[in-house]
Amino acid sequence: MGKSKYDSHVKPHLDKITKWTEDLTDEQIAARLKISRKSFIEYKKQHPELVEALEKGKKRLVVELKDTLKKKAKGFYYEEVKTVKIHNPDSDAEPEWIEKIEINRKYAQPDTGAAHLLLKNLDPTWRNDDAETMKLKKQQVEIQKQKLEQDNW
């Protein structure tokens, strides 16, 4: 078996790995570290600090995504910045164009899909809709079975 690259290629980069986890897959992280995916998997089994770094990055991502989803569910203001070219009225000679930056403040309406998803995952009373849906589907299947049995007679 070859010499492990963990101490030279992975361990010094644990902080970076935590950040990379927010955007990259394990395979992409292994490529950045210049190690094989197979080695990366083995290192995860052998080194709890690597697993901890990966989990820490994933937890940060989950928090960030929850915050973004909450913002979308509630609605929010944002600025739209646009650069336009206009004729310079102070120019005496041939037409001269100047760039003007327009900033428009806009409002993104609350998203009911995001609100539903948040309530479904954060409020236990909203989780029951899946149980109700399943109950209705079971009833529908039973009715279809009864119709098939009647048709076969």
* CB of 97 closer than 8 Å to CB of 81: no
Q: Give the Cα separation of 22 and 30 in Å (integer).
A: 14
Q: Give the Cα separation of 14 and 29 in Å (integer).
A: 11
Q: How far is CA 67 from CA 20, 62, 135, in A?
A: 19, 9, 33
* CB of 35 closer than 8 Å to CB of 50: no
Report the predicted TM-score, pTM, of the whole model to 2 decimal places.
0.61
Instruction: Classify each residue of 83-96 as buried b or exposed e, where b means 16 or more C-beta atoms within 10 Å of its C-beta.
Output: eeeeeeeeeeeeee
Q: Give the Cα separation of 67 and 78 in Å (integer).
A: 16
| Residue 129 pLDDT | 63
Q: Give the Cα separation of 76 and 60 in Å (integer).
A: 22
From first to last of the 153 residues of the chain, give the pLDDT tens digit.
457 899 999 999 999 999 999 899 999 999 999 999 999 999 999 999 999 999 999 999 999 999 999 999 999 999 999 999 888 777 666 667 888 999 999 999 999 999 988 988 888 777 666 677 778 888 888 888 888 888 776
